[in-house]
Amino acid sequence: GNSVTQMEGPVTLSEEAFLTINCTYTATGYPSLFWYVQYPGEGLQLLLKATKADDKGSNKGFEATYRKETTSFHLEKGSVQVSDSAVYFCALRPWGGYNKLIFGAGTRLAVHP
Amino acid sequence: DAGITQSPRYKITETGRQVTLMCHQTWSHSYMFWYRQDLGHGLRLIYYSAAADITDKGEVPDGYVVSRSKTENFPLTLESATRSQTSVYFCASSEPGQGVDEQFFGPGTRLTVL
């Protein structure tokens, strides 16, 4: 079946540190991959996406590359800010999945000044 | 209000009571979804709808009922609430074929069942 596994949090970093949040997936065919972000007290927002192998999604300084050979979609940012503190969800849309998303458990990021 | 809204934002109820959570979107998106968010599980799909009068089960549908008589509304009903249904519920909508495959989420409803 389809599933998403994320690294457990919380991840605690100092401002300007490098961020990596690992995400691996299991899926048949050619899923689309997403990172969503949830700020405190809010709903989820799309951060970035990739629809085929070797695609790189990027937004607000965050990047993730769709690696089919390792079934991974790790989220990275070179220099985090306090305002990046949030919960990050990796998700996949199965091939032919009619817009249904399958989410990972989420990783909480806390950035300190 | 433009966008996707949920009501109520907070609800406390008792075991056995019926509860309805409302979701309204102003974009005329075809697809609407209900998720529940629990620690350690991320978001799990309860039900979804591809259009008015078309609904289908997601991963965790037991104990929930949905309807969609109008495109813009997608209420979720807990027919007889149980403590295990204490959770944060998110509604989302999307429109396939607009290139992004993005789901737009409401602010959530925090439900506590005593």
- Tell me if B40 and A104 make a contact (CB, 8 A cut-off): no
Suggest the residue from A32, A101, A108 to mutate for an interface test with chain B (most B CBs closer than 10 A). A101
pLDDT for the residue numbered B60? 94
- Give yes or no for residue B101 having a pLDDT over 60: yes
Say if B31 is an interface residue toward chain A (CB within 8 Å): yes
- Give yes or no for residue B100 having a pLDDT over 80: no
Mean pLDDT of A45-63: 95
Q: Which residues of A touch B99 (CB under 8 A)?
A: none
Reduced to 3 states (helix: H, G, I; strand: E, B; else coil), residue A60 is: coil
Q: Which amino acid is at A74?
A: H
Contact yes or no for A22/A106 (Cβ under 8 A): no
Q: Which tens digit of pLDDT belongs to each residue from B39-87?
A: 878 899 999 999 999 999 999 999 999 999 999 999 999 999 999 999 9
Q: Which residues of B touch A105 (CB under 8 A)?
A: 40-42
Q: Which tens digit of pLDDT belongs to each residue from A27-39?
A: 988 899 999 999 9
Closest by CA to A110, choosing from A10, A3, A7, A6, is: A10
pLDDT for the residue numbered B40? 78
* Lowest model confidence (mean pLDDT) among A70-74, A79-83, A109-113, B103-107: B103-107
pLDDT for the residue numbered A98? 66
Query: Percent of chain B having pLDDT more than 70?
Result: 95
Residues of A near B (Cβ–Cβ under 8 Å) read: 4, 6, 32, 34, 41-46, 49, 51, 89, 93, 98-106
Suggest the residue from A25, A38, A88, A100 to mutate for an interface test with chain B (most B CBs closer than 10 A). A100
pLDDT for the residue numbered A9? 84
In Å, what is the CA distance from B50 to each residue of A89, B3, B41, B42, B92? 24, 18, 25, 23, 12
Tell me the H-state helices in B1-114: none
pLDDT for the residue numbered A17? 97
Say if B74 is an interface residue toward chain A (CB within 8 Å): no
Write out the DSSP string of B47-71: EEEEETTEEEE-S--TTEEE--SST
Contact yes or no for B5/B23 (Cβ under 8 A): yes
Q: Residue B83: which H helix or E strand, with range?
A: none
B97 against B113, higher pLDDT: B113
Confidence of residue A97 (pLDDT cuts 50, 70, 90): low
Query: Percent of chain B having pLDDT more than 90?
Result: 82
pLDDT for the residue numbered A29? 83
Mean pLDDT of B98-104: 72
pLDDT for the residue numbered A49? 94
